[in-house]
Structure 1
Amino acid sequence: MGSSKKVTVGYKYYVGMHMILCHGPVDRLLRIQVDERDVWDGRLSGGQIALNQPNVFGGESREGGIQGAVDFEAGHAAQEQNSYLLSKLGSYVPSFRGVAGMVLRQIYVGMNPYLKKWSFRLQRIHTRQNGLPQWHDSKAEISGLGVGANVNETFSNTAIFESNDPAAYIVEQNSIRNSGSAAGSVSSFYKRQIPTLIIKSFSVEFLVERLSAGDSMRIAIASDNGTAWFSFNPVREAVVDALQRPMINGNNAIAPDKLDVNVWYRLEVNANVSPGNLGYKITRLSDSATISTGQYPQPQEIAVSQLMFVRDQDSSPSITRFKNVLIVGAGTTGDMNPAHIIRECLTDPLWGMGYLEADIDDLSFMAAADTLYAEGFGMSLLWDTETSIEEFIKIIVKHIDASVYVDRKTGRFVLKLIRDDYNPANLLTLNESNVEKIADFNRPSIGELINSVTVTYWNSETGQNATLTVQDIALSQQQQSTVGTSVTYEGITNAHIASRVAQRDLKTLSTPLASCTIYANRAAAGLNVGDVFKLTWPVYDLTDMVMRVTGIAYGDGRSHRVRIQCVQDAFATPDSAIIVPPPIERPDTGQEPVPIARYAVFEVPYFELVQRQGQPAIDALLAGNPDMGFVGAGAARPQGAALSARIYTDMGNGYEDVSNLDFSPCAVLDEAIDQMATTFAIREVQDIEAITLGTWFQLGTELMSVESITTSSITVKRGVLDTVPASHSDGDSLIFWDEYGEADPTEYIASEQINVKLLTVTGAGRLALANAPQDTVTLDSRALRPYPPGNFKINGSYFPNAVSGPVSLSWVERNRLQQTGAVLIGFSDGTVTPETGTTYNVYAYDDSNNDLKYSNTGITGISDVIGVGFLAGVINLRVELYAVRDGYQSLQPQTHVMQWSSGENMMTFENNYTPDAGNSVQLQFTQ
């Protein structure tokens, strides 16, 4: 006997799901991918799609595919409840207006129980988030190919053809000629795939050799499924039209006597000449005479992808040659005008900064939008809440080379493109008559210049990042090496724009542009960031040099001096280099490395270790070895050609190369500051675009958090992590090493002294060890020590100059283990529940001789009072406040020196009385 039994070889999985994609409403859905494989593409503004890719993951023999109905919801204000969600969740399901979403209607998702990653490409250009029409909408969308981009097919012997009848054509005189070999059923005489486009205009030149009854040869542009954008048949249709009038889209287009045989013509078609219509024009090339013009209804907007010259059932077509095909299109995925992006970031009330329309200088934004549209400079990029709106605007400004600022007269936001749009004769001139001084003048040497720029951008056709490199060959030969840099422009979507931006950056980086800081009078008060002016300064041999403002400060109310940071304008330099390097006897392999001038070496703080290895790992490491520590460093780039630095350490057995160090952004303090200053002037800012708000930097031994920064000013939180506020001097260096610092991987223990050297690396090699300055780090169990208390006050004030009587101290608590979040806590922030076992020690000294006058240890509260009796004879009082836990004091104490007096029975002499030498003053008190 035999029997059969069904065997289960796998399971099919079906999913119902609602996915929220982004803020809405959006213009349209363009592509759906599952596991990075295309399952649908098109242009859908809303509605249902039938996905039908059952074999996209290998079919039923492997992981199945995708099949079923999905709903795309663009998020418009009138969007209704989704019927599928209603059926599953009931009548209380919302309509989900204001967000774009996708509803999967229990669709087949393959034979793998693990859900694959879905991704969607959306476009939002013409639809504003608040439902209002887009501002300056005619310039909002910019072709992904760039304005004027085209598919230009001038047919020649190298043309590629597809035909059902290979003998049906021959190539002759740079055109395609029909050989007239065979009649038959409808077939493609010539078909050429073109990049998928939304057509803006089209032209072709063709030769008519006969106009006889029954001829059928037409020109068509169509989508892959054959839907024609237009169809032109310049022959006599014997059955339909006895008057022999050629047809466009089935309509009579030309009078019967207009076309002649053996004559070349040009057909031109333009989209949107009037609502819902295409316009056409046919011209005779021999005398440029217009044969016919007109309009006809435009088909539904479709993405065309092929050009066809079709022969229908005739061995002797009328058109026998065609050439010079020009197709201009916008691409299926247009980019947004960057001026519109910035404007929406400023004004959108939901996710933007919420400024009013009246706060925008429309004239400057419209001028910028028109320029960017003419340049074909569109952008497509994603914003999410991980990047602030301010930083997002900076990214856009960097792409388009522009500045955004608030006009001091109107109070409105101004967008200014950095372009060659000025007449030097009309510029303001700064010279000895209106300039007080010039500082920090610098012109890079040839060895500091960059001769190669590599740009990384997002290719919209592939959906992947792509790169291209441009080089200054002449400069490279002068430098005898390639000195390159890389930059990422994630908003650029095509190689055409990426190449132009790379050339722009290369010109700036490969030209020895002078830079300086100018201190001028109020004649310069009308300048803004991005403006240009002429500088004449005989000391530096400058005569009418065009400079561009990179940063400006207008004075503080007491001084009306205008401080201008500027750089020579790249547009005012010659296109070809005129620098002649001095003769050299050996090949120059790049600029020789110089010592690093601005840097910090330190024992690595607890939070930095947590960021690198995670809190559980560091806490476990400290539990096993409380006194362990690591040596770290951060450094500013000392010269333009510097690539990186190497960290060398020596614990007594000689120096060893232990780590690579990327350079940190840096700045210089432009004024002296006390412990409480939170906004202060800076200068000589390097790599400001690489500074992330909310990260820390080091100034002296103090760590501060960056709250906001420009090229001339910074706002901070003082004394973050395990440091306390301190006074700092004009000229001190700010090293922004939070995201760039590096450490020796060796684990040291407390009291060990480690020598450190930082060696600059350029294309010419590494700085000699003997030429690098040496610093010594003494390990002090920094990672384990409790944080010092914050908000320290003396007699109710911050750091007073003088006090009298009892000295009252107060503070708030901190916690090393809890202060590991995204927001750093500063000196004046509120209290944090301390680590278990934390107490406080207070000490008071006579600062003149370091004599300890008072101590109170093991304090469990957050205040203390130093009585007058402890301070007899003290004039300059120094107080110190430490946090203590498990026998470890905070790395730094809250400390302050001030004048002190008892405030009791005080007696002074008038007129600065001084007794004679050898005599004394006797005082007698009587009742």
Structure 2
Amino acid sequence: MGKSSKPTIGYWHQLLLYIGVCHGPVDALRKVEWGGEDAWEGNQTTSGDIFIDKPELFGGEKKEGGIKGTLSVRMGEPTQMPHFRMLELRPGPWPAARGLMTLVYDGIVGAFSPYVKTCRWLVSRWFMGWEGAVWQPTLCKIGEGMNAAHLAYQTLTHTDWGYGASPADIIDEANLLGMAQTLADEGFGLCLKWSRSESVGTFLTLICNHVGAQWGVRDDKIVFTLYRGNYDVEALPLIDESNIVSLEEWSDPLVTGGAVNEVTVVGFDCMTGKDIARTYANLASIQATGQVVSEKIQLPGLWNLDLVDRVAARECHAKSMMPQRVKVTVKASAGPFVRGEVRAISWARKQVHRMPVRVEEIDEGTLTDSAVTLVLLQDVAGMAQTSYIADVGTGWVAPDTTPRPLDPEHVYEATYRDLVGIMRPADLAMMGDEAGYLVAVGARPVGPAYNFTLFTRTASAPFAEVGSGDFSPNGVLASGLGPTATLITLNSHRGLAGVAVGEECIIGGVEHCRVTSINAGTGEVGIARGCVDTVPRSPGHVSGTLVWFPDTYHGYDPTEYLDGETVDAKLRTRTSSGTLAEAEAVTRSVAMAGRQFRPYPPGRLRIEGQAYPATVTGASITAEVADRDRLLQADQLVDSDQVSIGPEPGTTKTFRWYLGGVLARTEAGVAGSSDTFIPAGAGVVRVEVECVRDGATSWQALSHEFGFQPA
């Protein structure tokens, strides 16, 4: 405010960052997240530059700055060269990073913080990065995920980052195609990252854990078996007395106390970068055992709540069914056997006929052995029955940080008291008579928000940022308020706990008062009326009128405007997601009128010795007032009912008397404190008293209307 220069209170940090992402190329860069906030979102499908313009992402200059700079996306083409900015800093040699997706960021990365915030990114890859043609391209992409069969195919065959085998040598393609078709029909795509530090076998097992499958080897080729219940039990290959050499173990669980009966599956929403979880419980098991046995399963490739939901139901069903476990030695001629495949077992002495079982373990012994030892597990695959398990669910919902308009909000020309509290005395003394400044107040919108940024303009110029402000406590009058009332009750009030006795409140944007008592719980506020350059409003304020408490919570524009100028203002909410768009903010306007220079109106209106009487009877009517002095009062909230202060040198008063709505008497240049009017007859009388100094009249005039009856 004023003509003082701003001190340096912090510094913006600018860096050149070289970031390795993954093997390239990818289908698209979709999103960049910095410090937990969305810095950029789009669909960058080729190498190129993206300009990120989010200088307020971390709170702007009031907090930790933001992001503003150029992000170079490098897909890793065979002809890619080192980035020019890196060569400018050091001559090299620098790697060209061919075959790798990298990012180079050059620009501002924040302020007021000694560390660089974490950067994350979202990339999508379905059809790029394959060696040659995409295998079964119509089945590859499932929603935002990739078909798990395609993940396995590429991991096994890619010569650069995968196992590097020939598909014909290592994959049973017909088997894998059947798996791919089933997963496509189920809408079961995965968003799953693989690091080269992890073995191919471990990654294949992770894929199988997600989709409910098992991988194994048959005829020297890798095959996959999906755990699904879509088979005909009567058609399954049979293990029975005809090919069983010996029954080693038959575990028939009768004790249910240790069985898992509640499963939580945790996935990862790649679009938001947050974990997502669902919990399912076997209600029958819980009721039978009287206890909950829980297990949590991390499956980061499940990228949406639907997949997490389905897998949680599947896992709960499988783990809580207490399947029978059989260890048996069978003739080798009954094979070959593959882990995960479904067989049927019959054993008369157990009264079991064609029970579906999964092959869990295979021990083929030595080359001379004619028998194979198997561990079989009763098959409980398939989706859960809704009557048997139930989703435990969660009541938590992520907060919405979208900036929303302030509602309500108010802008007005600054009073002399406002400027005394804002400006240095030397700047205040140098201020011109016609100067004016803008003040803004606004209520906190729905949802989390920091504060608001104030933008202003004159004429048709673009809006420019001039300041910021905190949300003002506020409420609405529960009932009407006459000119002598000193206790109000507020409805729909917000933030009253931040208001202190002695602070200012503004009723309806037209009457400034002083807080004499406050109860933040009930909304009852004691007030002293008609402070600063305002008077008690007569006949009063209606119920529903807005009341603001702006002393600590406001924004102001330090630009000096002239009497007669109209200033437009926009209050734009700031949240962790950014600043409210200019188009969504309402334009508020203030016509400057040299308010700070005008003399204060008189106070303590008494008509025939009464404060705001309803009727007066007599031969004449005398009105008396008390003096006010803006210079002496300075930043004090002197209410209208106080005795005389001043007046400011050169101040006179003007009395106007109306009878039946017609001006009947004007007495200007009054140096004293009273004037007498003799009405011509009965009727409604209104008296107005204003102050004049140096050709300027007071911002408001004391006024009251009453009935008159001659004595």
TM-score w.r.t. the length of structure 1 is 0.39
2:63 equivalent in structure 1: 62
Q: Is the 8 A contact 1:23 1:129 kept in 2?
A: no
Does 1:43 find its partner at 2:43? yes
2:230 equivalent in structure 1: 421
Instruction: Using the TM superposition, give the Cα deviation of residue 107 of structure 1 relative to its aligned residue in structure 2, in angstroms.
Output: 3.9
Instruction: Using the TM superposition, give the Cα deviation of residue 517 of structure 1 relative to its aligned residue in structure 2, in angstroms.
Output: 0.8
Does 1:503 find its partner at 2:313? yes
Which has the higher mean CA deviation after the structures are superposed, 564-573 or 121-130?
564-573
Distance in 2 between the 1:462 and 1:120 partners?
Answer: 10
Q: Is the 8 A contact 1:66 1:110 kept in 2?
A: no
Does 1:105 find its partner at 2:123? no
Q: What amino acid maps onto 2:302 in structure 1?
A: I
1:405 equivalent in structure 2: 216
1:115 equivalent in structure 2: 116
Does 1:555 find its partner at 2:556? no
Distance in 1 between the 2:307 and 2:384 partners?
Answer: 23
Q: 1:127 to 1:576 in 2, by over 3 A?
A: closer
Q: Is the 8 A contact 1:519 1:563 kept in 2?
A: yes
Instruction: Using the TM superposition, give the Cα deviation of residue 94 of structure 1 relative to its aligned residue in structure 2, in angstroms.
Output: 4.3
The superposition leaves residues 107-133 of structure 1 with CA deviations (integer Å, 9 ceiling, x where unpaired) of 454343422221112222211254x33
Distance in 2 between the 1:550 and 1:487 partners?
Answer: 20
Give the 3-state SS of the residue equivalent to 1:518 in structure 2: strand
Where in structure 2 are the equivalents of 1:594-673 lying within 5 Å? none
Distance in 2 between the 1:4 and 1:462 partners?
Answer: 45
Q: What amino acid maps onto 1:60 in structure 2?
A: E
Give the 3-state SS of the residue equivalent to 1:22 in structure 2: strand
Q: 1:522 to 1:388 in 2, by over 3 A?
A: closer
Q: 1:385 to 1:17 in 2, by over 3 A?
A: same
Q: Is the 8 A contact 2:340 2:359 kept in 1?
A: yes
Q: What amino acid maps onto 1:406 in structure 2?
A: V
Overall identity of the aligned pairs, in %:
28
Q: Is the 8 A contact 1:360 1:412 kept in 2?
A: yes
Q: Is the 8 A contact 1:28 1:74 kept in 2?
A: no
Does 1:392 find its partner at 2:393? no
Distance in 2 between the 1:123 and 1:571 partners?
Answer: 31
Instruction: Using the TM superposition, give the Cα deviation of residue 476 of structure 1 relative to its aligned residue in structure 2, in angstroms.
Output: 2.1
Distance in 1 between the 2:258 and 2:5 partners?
Answer: 79
Distance in 1 between the 2:384 and 2:105 partners?
Answer: 59
1:360 equivalent in structure 2: 171
Distance in 2 between the 1:352 and 1:386 partners?
Answer: 11
Instruction: Using the TM superposition, give the Cα deviation of residue 380 of structure 1 relative to its aligned residue in structure 2, in angstroms.
Output: 1.1
1:434 equivalent in structure 2: 243
1:489 equivalent in structure 2: 299
The superposition leaves residues 401-433 of structure 1 with CA deviations (integer Å, 9 ceiling, x where unpaired) of 21222222xx22212212123222222222112
Runs of 4 or more consecutive aligned structure 1 residues displaced over 6 Å after TM superposition: 3-6
Q: 1:96 to 1:425 in 2, by over 3 A?
A: same
Q: 1:494 to 1:4 in 2, by over 3 A?
A: closer
Give the 3-state SS of the residue equivalent to 1:570 in structure 2: coil
Q: Is the 8 A contact 2:10 2:111 kept in 1?
A: no
Does 1:32 find its partner at 2:1? no
Q: What amino acid maps onto 2:86 in structure 1?
A: L
Does 1:474 find its partner at 2:284? yes
Distance in 1 between the 2:35 and 2:92 partners?
Answer: 34
Q: 1:437 to 1:35 in 2, by over 3 A?
A: same
Distance in 2 between the 1:503 and 1:576 partners?
Answer: 9
Q: Is the 8 A contact 2:318 2:381 kept in 1?
A: no
Distance in 2 between the 1:54 and 1:96 partners?
Answer: 30
Instruction: Using the TM superposition, give the Cα deviation of residue 53 of structure 1 relative to its aligned residue in structure 2, in angstroms.
Output: 0.6
Instruction: Using the TM superposition, give the Cα deviation of residue 368 of structure 1 relative to its aligned residue in structure 2, in angstroms.
Output: 0.7
Give the 3-state SS of the residue equivalent to 2:111 in structure 1: coil
Q: What amino acid maps onto 2:204 in structure 1?
A: I
Does 1:369 find its partner at 2:180? yes
Distance in 2 between the 1:71 and 1:381 partners?
Answer: 25
1:541 counterpart (344, 348, 351): 351
Q: Is the 8 A contact 1:455 1:467 kept in 2?
A: yes
Where in structure 2 are the equivalents of 1:676-825 lying within 5 Å? none
Instruction: Using the TM superposition, give the Cα deviation of residue 392 of structure 1 relative to its aligned residue in structure 2, in angstroms.
Output: 1.8
Q: What amino acid maps onto 1:379 in structure 2?
A: L
Q: What amino acid maps onto 2:345 in structure 1?
A: L
Q: Is the 8 A contact 2:67 2:107 kept in 1?
A: no
Q: Is the 8 A contact 1:20 1:100 kept in 2?
A: yes
Q: CA RMSD in A?
A: 2.6
Distance in 1 between the 2:356 and 2:7 partners?
Answer: 82
Q: 1:511 to 1:108 in 2, by over 3 A?
A: closer
1:605 equivalent in structure 2: none
Instruction: Using the TM superposition, give the Cα deviation of residue 100 of structure 1 relative to its aligned residue in structure 2, in angstroms.
Output: 0.8
Distance in 2 between the 1:574 and 1:109 partners?
Answer: 50
Distance in 1 between the 2:178 and 2:134 partners?
Answer: 16
Q: 1:7 to 1:114 in 2, by over 3 A?
A: same
Distance in 2 between the 1:69 and 1:436 partners?
Answer: 71
Q: Please tell me whether Structure 1 or Structure 2 has the larger radius of gyration of its CA atoms.
A: 2
Q: Is the 8 A contact 1:438 1:519 kept in 2?
A: yes
Stretches of structure 2 lacking an aligned partner (at least 5 in a row): 389-711
Give the 3-state SS of the residue equivalent to 2:21 in structure 1: strand
Instruction: Using the TM superposition, give the Cα deviation of residue 501 of structure 1 relative to its aligned residue in structure 2, in angstroms.
Output: 0.9
The superposition leaves residues 78-118 of structure 1 with CA deviations (integer Å, 9 ceiling, x where unpaired) of 43543433444458644321111111124454343422221
Q: What amino acid maps onto 2:179 in structure 1?
A: A
Instruction: Using the TM superposition, give the Cα deviation of residue 482 of structure 1 relative to its aligned residue in structure 2, in angstroms.
Output: 2.3
Instruction: Using the TM superposition, give the Cα deviation of residue 567 of structure 1 relative to its aligned residue in structure 2, in angstroms.
Output: 0.8
Stretches of structure 1 lacking an aligned partner (at least 5 in a row): 144-333, 579-927
Q: 1:571 to 1:388 in 2, by over 3 A?
A: closer
Distance in 2 between the 1:6 and 1:498 partners?
Answer: 54
Instruction: Using the TM superposition, give the Cα deviation of residue 562 of structure 1 relative to its aligned residue in structure 2, in angstroms.
Output: 1.2
TM-score w.r.t. the length of structure 2 is 0.51
Q: Is the 8 A contact 1:53 1:65 kept in 2?
A: yes
Give the 3-state SS of the residue equivalent to 1:486 in structure 2: strand
Distance in 1 between the 2:295 and 2:136 partners?
Answer: 37
1:526 counterpart (332, 336, 346): 336
1:208 equivalent in structure 2: none
Q: 1:572 to 1:522 in 2, by over 3 A?
A: farther
Q: Is the 8 A contact 1:15 1:107 kept in 2?
A: yes
Q: Which has the higher contact order (CA 8 A, sep 6+)?
A: 2
Q: Is the 8 A contact 2:31 2:121 kept in 1?
A: yes
Q: Is the 8 A contact 2:364 2:372 kept in 1?
A: yes
The superposition leaves residues 165-189 of structure 1 with CA deviations (integer Å, 9 ceiling, x where unpaired) of xxxxxxxxxxxxxxxxxxxxxxxxx
Aligned pair count reads: 384
Where in structure 2 are the equivalents of 1:437-452 lying within 5 Å? 437-445=246-254, 446-452=256-262
Instruction: Using the TM superposition, give the Cα deviation of residue 519 of structure 1 relative to its aligned residue in structure 2, in angstroms.
Output: 0.5
Give the 3-state SS of the residue equivalent to 1:513 in structure 2: coil
Distance in 2 between the 1:108 and 1:497 partners?
Answer: 36
